[in-house]
Copies of this chain bind each other. A is one copy, B any other.
Amino acid sequence: MDATTLPPDLRVAVVGVGVMGADHVERLATRTKFARVSVVNDFDTAKASRLAGTVPGCRAVEDPFEAITADDVDAVLLASPGRFHAEQVLAALEIGRPVLCEKPLALDPADALQVVRREAEHGSPLVSVGFMRRFDREHEELRASLAAGELGTPLMVHCKHRNASVPGHFDDRMMVYDSAVHEVDSVRYLLGEEIVSASVLKPTPSENAPAGLHDPMLVLFRTASGRVVTDELHLTTSAGYEVRTEVVGSRGSATIGLEVGRLTTQLPGGRWGGSVHADFRPRFRDAYDVQLQRWVDAVRRGEGVDPTSATAWDGYAAAVVCEATARALDTDGAPVPVELATRPPGPSSDHHEEQR
């Protein structure tokens, strides 16, 4: 047998090479097997060109749609600003090209729903949404233990999402769309059912919070079967990044994200302890790697999406829940219902259904 018979690497176009996109380029170029970056694009064309120059076999193009549809591209990774996502995903769908879209799929649920419907019309799944926690080992283990019934019936979920700090322009809506959105997906992923209402409690803000920001915030969700979810968002702890999830079940409760195992130290001054991750990148670096590898593997097998990944429907549901939550910022604690469209039959619906 001869090396020329080896299947070629997947050629990926990366659209948007800001912090997250550049991180993905580096990942694809140095860690993801069977993949290479053939095209990059960014609004900042100079930046895209510079980056292309550092990656063998990669070129920069000025138009995102040219990147998405180029002949030397097999699949598309979108890390552009969220407001462009839906249109760019649709462009990939149009030519039947697999696309991994960083969250959010869309800010406007209507746009996300359009993606869901186009993909359903297409007849096989092509869209993945980058909720990376699904690929985190602890999240996978927790989901597996729930699926195996180890905790009995899940009854409640308690989430914590903490950051050291946020930019000065961060506002309450961003707490929902940038932070709580991850819990929205985690909870749907872990419980395998939809969220049906959201409410928000706003404690007196921390003195660390930028003016006008209600940090910390408590978001409450209710699911279709009546479960209750608490989500503490606290983004100005001055400490670090912490994502902790506890599922309370009828036969046991389990917590992930404790991170106590890393280092325990007895220190001068009479203290012991460990360190907190500085931000989400070290915490979820492995999850991002796994997500991308599994996506590349699935696409190369001709499956379009990896079954663990968030689907277009998941992206749509997240958009609807976030919109309800954002409205709940102004209802003084009263719940706002989440109203989902009917899910179209077809490709993007299989995985989630099976799991229930």
CB–CB A276/B286 < 8 A: no
A289 CB to closest chain B CB, in angstroms? 10
With contacts A164-B270, A274-B272 taken as known, whether A3 is within 8 angstroms of B7 at the C-beta atoms is no
In the complex, whether A156 has a CB less than 8 A from a CB of chain B is yes
In the complex, whether A19 has a CB less than 8 A from a CB of chain B is no
With contacts A32-B33, A57-B5, A228-B218 taken as known, whether A240 is within 8 angstroms of B255 at the C-beta atoms is no
Contacts of A274 in B (CB 8 A): 271-273
A118 CB to closest chain B CB, in angstroms? 30
CB–CB A264/B270 < 8 A: no
A226 CA to B228 CA in the complex, in Å? 23
CB–CB A6/B57 < 8 A: yes
CB–CB A248/B56 < 8 A: no
Copies in the complex: 4
CB–CB B59/A216 < 8 A: no
Interface string of A155-190 (1 = CB under 8 A from B): 110100010100000000000000000000000000
Contacts of A31 in B (CB 8 A): 33, 293
Contacts of A33 in B (CB 8 A): 30-33
In the complex, whether A354 has a CB less than 8 A from a CB of chain B is no
A202 CA to B242 CA in the complex, in Å? 28
A158 CB to closest chain B CB, in angstroms? 7
CB–CB B253/A263 < 8 A: no
In the complex, whether A104 has a CB less than 8 A from a CB of chain B is no
Interface string of A185-211 (1 = CB under 8 A from B): 000000000000001011111111000
In the complex, whether A275 has a CB less than 8 A from a CB of chain B is yes
Contacts of A259 in B (CB 8 A): 261
CB–CB A216/B266 < 8 A: no
- On chain A, the number of residues with a Cβ less than 8 Å from chain B's Cβ atoms is 95
A207 CB to closest chain B CB, in angstroms? 6
A26 CA to B215 CA in the complex, in Å? 47
In the complex, whether A227 has a CB less than 8 A from a CB of chain B is yes
CB–CB B262/A155 < 8 A: no
Interface centre among A36, A266, A335 (most CB of B within 10 A): A266
Contacts of A237 in B (CB 8 A): 250, 252-253, 266, 268
Contacts of A234 in B (CB 8 A): 155-156, 248
A281 CA to B32 CA in the complex, in Å? 21
With contacts A56-B5, A57-B6 taken as known, whether A207 is within 8 angstroms of B270 at the C-beta atoms is no
A334 CA to B220 CA in the complex, in Å? 13
One of A42-50, A107-115, A138-146 contacting the partner: A138-146
A selection of 21 A-B contacts at a CB cut-off of 8 Å is A3-B38, A3-B57, A6-B36, A7-B56, A138-B262, A155-B216, A155-B234, A156-B218, A201-B228, A203-B226, A207-B250, A237-B253, A237-B268, A238-B269, A239-B266, A242-B266, A252-B266, A254-B264, A256-B263, A261-B262, A271-B275
